[in-house]
Amino acid sequence: MDPAICEQRVTPAFIRDKKGRQRITLVTAYDFPTAKLADEAGFDMVLVGDTLAEVVLGYETTLPVTFETMLHHTAAARRAIRRALLVADLPYGTYQASEQDAVRFALRFVKEGGAQAVKLEGGQKRVNLIRRIVDAEIPMVGHIGLTPQSVHRMGGYKVGVFAMVLEGIPREVAKAVSEEVSTPTLGIGAGPDCDGQVMVLNDLLGLTFKRPAKFVRQYLHGASDIRTALAQFKADIESGAYPTDAESYHLPGHFRLKLPDILKRVIGPGDN
């Protein structure tokens, strides 16, 4: 990473100030190595998303992932990140029962996981909850899918969040929303007119095993490359090509000369 980039840690205010001036970059990460690489690449924000359930843990949907699992992975990402703003996804079940539960879980993400902000899904009905979390001094990212008929309801929802993810909506709607609200919008399957873009890391690296969505652009064929590497490693083991002498540790010369005598003393003359 450019040393100049490292000097300024990203804050919610930094993200808000980029609206209309510079596109905002966001990518998911789920552990120390992926978060470290995303941070070193200079992304503004790193999201430990509940997509962890599908792309890392193998569930069919995001619903089964627990808060404790999300907390575990958020803490791992925190240890890697120096500059980017770390956002944690409140998973299903943490905010549906009560606002008090939601605030408690959000506080744990910050206190125990090192998150700098939390994200939750839902529309206008989450306004009071967002206010409660913001009142607890926790920055919020909103996340909604929209239809053209719901644009007029954005006014209430935008209160309190410093950024808003728009997912799987028509480009025209996303453009209208982005122009209407002062909150930065982050698109995922919402066209190029949002203030920034986000993608699931495993999707862009080609490390998913489902048919990709229309908006996914793969920058690497990760699954294919890993299969090739694993097949080669297996073949090298079976053929004896791995490891070579150069990949082995050796005794220093003077110990090597003494090794037969040392082995005789340790093993004994009658044990071979």
pLDDT of residue 258: 87
Positive/negative CA dihedral, 261, 266, 268, 272: negative
Domain-located, residue 102: yes
CA proximity to 143, closest of 123, 127, 124, 159: 123
pLDDT per residue rounded down to tens, the chain (272 residues) = 555 555 689 999 999 999 999 999 999 999 999 999 999 999 999 999 999 999 999 999 999 999 999 999 999 999 999 999 999 999 999 999 999 999 999 999 999 999 999 999 887 788 899 999 999 999 999 998 865 545 555 555 556 899 999 999 999 999 999 999 999 999 999 999 999 999 999 999 999 999 999 999 999 999 999 999 999 999 999 999 999 999 999 999 888 888 888 888 888 765 55
Q: Which of 147, 100, 151, 95 is nearest to 119 (CA)?
A: 95
pLDDT at 91: 96
Domain containing residue 191: CATH number: 3.20.20.60
Q: In this structure, is residue 168 part of a structural domain?
A: yes
Closest to 207 (Cα-Cα) out of 191, 194, 190, 220: 220
Query: According to the model, what pLDDT value does residue 93 have?
Result: 95
What is the C-alpha separation between 143 and 50, in angstroms, rounded?
Answer: 12
Structure confidence at residue 7 (pLDDT): 61
Catalytic residue among 40, 54, 112, 167: 167
The verdict on residue 26 lying in a domain is: yes
Identify the pLDDT of residue 207.
Answer: 96
Res 239: pLDDT = 98
Compute the distance between CA of residue 141 and CA of residue 177 in angstroms, rounded to an integer: 16
* Containing structural domain, residue 159: 3-225
Note the pTM of the prediction, 2 decimals.
Answer: 0.90
179 catalytic? Reply is: no
Asked if the structure places residue 262 within a domain, the reply is: no
Q: What is the pLDDT of residue 149?
A: 45
Give a yes or no: residue 268 inside a domain. no
What total of structural domains would you count in the chain?
A: 1
Res 61: pLDDT: 93
The answer to the question of residue 265 being in a domain is: no
